[in-house]
Structure 1
């Protein structure tokens, strides 16, 4: 049996047909499906490249093939009837569709699957309303209600839905049939002992996120670090992730001594070592599902401060959740969590929460869902 995996992720496609990702997608994420399938076709956005840099992840599974599709993030292509015809032809060549939403290509694949009678399973990984409404111009805000409606309708009527949250997405985008809430994040190592913090005012904060993303709250993090330093704290900020740092260096030129752009590191031990160098992990996002970076940070014992976006409040201590966009509340929570007793308690909480996401604790639930979903 074979499935079509539909999403808006932008892959990089070399002239020899080998695909690469900047890190959000890796070949291992398809292993769970391939327990029940012979092959998967990935339909997504692709950008042609001549050569690949070392920091890219090669998608090198022989059971995966690629179908480059148009970028649907504009009105012209959304209204192009030829796109639904092309997608219907593609879907009809497969036994299943796995649509990762929110995404325009994913929604098109859901529509096509319904038209041609192919079973469609939805992975719902973030809130589309939050992504458009809380960070974007007037066009984004005008489109947000319609995009919300389209995703909500797709999820409601799908035969099978797997959510990455335990509660948040299920309430906003309910499903009437077979569904489960289980994170798509899993970890193998959790530190045994909580972290400690030096009894001085030196603080190293860290954030994982693309410098180009409008959703990760990069500007809020920089404003928070500026505010902390103005209050006398010897605070520094490290940002790990792809993207062009020049816009932030230009906007905040006086921060170069205490804001470090760490670039991209290979997943695994390198990222874990980077996290271990921090005192506090922050996630001031405007939109999230259930952030992998928070769970990985917690596995090292890092206390976490984050916004109320998506599933973040399901992960972190309630005292350290701030309203999205409110960097002053972020600063207040950072100042609170560095108190020695609070820091120790928050670190212990992180380790306990991270243990819930150990692979052994999640794999059985995932396998049970996909065993039922990928059956005819």
Structure 2
């Protein structure tokens, strides 16, 4: 590296919280352990995202910042219209906080990432892209109900395509799915590697052997919007229990929609058979939920390459998922369902849960496929992307040499 101190600023559509002393926290994957990956290539990491000041840190949140990792808090907003209302303040925060000599990676299709990428292009400064989801699906008819939904869908899909072609390097969380819709130029450095974190502790002892039906299914995800399809899973469970099947559902996660989902379960007559655990404090606690379950459900309305599904597969869980995003790269076609389709999920759930032989075969398949997403397998690809970003960053006058 020649003694050069280079900072990478990573812009993502995350909702952080911070305390008065500047300590920043997240209740999902964007915590310090995730950003440490970039310190193998860059001397400093600046995480850029929305953040709200809080007096107390709720349970389940973990630190984002730490040695070598700082956070640039951006004024908080919600949704495209919220960003438009705070456009001047958010733009100023990005322009002041991201230095021209920084290496910059924007995560798409996040609104903040799109804005940061556009500002870098306007400044004639390079930027790289990590494509983690598909705006064509995020703003699809079944995922969002807003009169401007078609405008958001068309505009952000086109913007994602354009920024992928203008970036100096592109990393996709899928191996094929997102690449087809948002291709990089032939001469660009492009990589297909998941952002899942699978250390050895994330793996179970091996595939499971089933001698009875899979009674307990688990769904893991934020309950802020209907993207994860928890409402579909509850409705499908009601159908199955009405047919006399002794099945239960555990939902791991929290968010604004939890009261509505709890109400839905009660009204459907399955309130006693749906367990809402709330937000777990550590990955180890989520793994315990996965170990206790017999089957994993991911009836999402849209996805990139879902980390929760890969984590479940690493625990040897058979799984059912929607045919969206990168899920078809992970599951057998027999275990894919139409997004938002209650009857289709109920059919697949019943067929898999009641067949111990198929459950055992799916467990073995999923466990072995998850091993190809282990950290020691993917880290080399992640490092190659980071080095391509570093190599494409000009050594301007603001760079510091030791």
Q: Secondary structure at the match of 1:226?
A: helix
1:135 aligns with 2:169: no
1:361 aligns with 2:360: no
For residue 72 of structure 1, report the CA deviation from its aligned partner.
6.8
In structure 1, the residue matched to 2:288 is 273
For residue 83 of structure 1, report the CA deviation from its aligned partner.
4.8
Greater shift after overlay, 128-137 or 52-61?
52-61
Q: 1:25 aligns with which of 18, 30, 38?
A: 30
Query: Residue by residue, what CA displacement relative to the aligned partner does 1:248-288 show, whole Å, maximum 9, x if unpaired?
Result: 12233232210000112233332211101111101000111
For residue 226 of structure 1, report the CA deviation from its aligned partner.
0.5
Tell me if structure 1 keeps the 8 A contact 2:210–2:357: no
Provide closer, same or farther for how the CA distance between residues 366 and 15 of structure 1 changes in structure 2, counting only shifts above 3 A: same
Larger RCO, structure (CA 8 Å, separation 6 or more): 2
1:154 aligns with 2:163: yes
For residue 78 of structure 1, report the CA deviation from its aligned partner.
3.1
- What is the RMSD computed on CA atoms of the aligned residues? 1.9
Q: 2:387 aligns with which of 354, 371, 375?
A: 371
Tell me if structure 2 keeps the 8 A contact 1:197–1:343: yes
Tell me if structure 1 keeps the 8 A contact 2:59–2:281: no
Distance 2:356 2:390 in 1: 50
Q: Secondary structure at the match of 1:262?
A: strand
1:330 aligns with 2:345: yes
Q: Secondary structure at the match of 2:364?
A: helix
In structure 2, the residue matched to 1:218 is 230
Distance 2:174 2:368 in 1: 18
In structure 1, the residue matched to 2:400 is none
Distance 1:72 1:152 in 2: 23
Query: Residue by residue, what CA displacement relative to the aligned partner does 1:167-194 show, whole Å, maximum 9, x if unpaired?
Result: 0000011111111101111313333432
Greater shift after overlay, 152-161 or 55-64?
55-64
1:78 aligns with 2:89: no
For residue 305 of structure 1, report the CA deviation from its aligned partner.
0.4
Distance 2:362 2:91 in 1: 49
In structure 2, the residue matched to 1:182 is 193
Provide closer, same or farther for how the CA distance between residues 330 and 68 of structure 1 changes in structure 2, counting only shifts above 3 A: same
In structure 1, the residue matched to 2:173 is 164
Distance 2:78 2:261 in 1: 28
For residue 84 of structure 1, report the CA deviation from its aligned partner.
4.1
Tell me if structure 1 keeps the 8 A contact 2:303–2:326: yes
Distance 1:117 1:92 in 2: 13
The within-5 A match list for 1:245-284 is: 245-253=258-266, 254-284=269-299
Provide closer, same or farther for how the CA distance between residues 173 and 89 of structure 1 changes in structure 2, counting only shifts above 3 A: same
Tell me if structure 1 keeps the 8 A contact 2:300–2:339: yes
Q: Secondary structure at the match of 1:249?
A: helix
Distance 2:373 2:82 in 1: 42
Q: TM-score, normalised by structure 1?
A: 0.94
Give structure 2 stretches of 5+ with no counterpart.
1-5, 394-402
1:121 aligns with 2:116: no
Distance 2:281 2:83 in 1: 35
Query: Residue by residue, what CA displacement relative to the aligned partner does 1:75-94 show, whole Å, maximum 9, x if unpaired?
Result: 47438466545533433344
Distance 2:35 2:300 in 1: 27
Query: Residue by residue, what CA displacement relative to the aligned partner does 1:6-31 show, whole Å, maximum 9, x if unpaired?
Result: 11201001111111111231111111
Aligned length: 375
For residue 101 of structure 1, report the CA deviation from its aligned partner.
1.0
Distance 2:65 2:193 in 1: 26
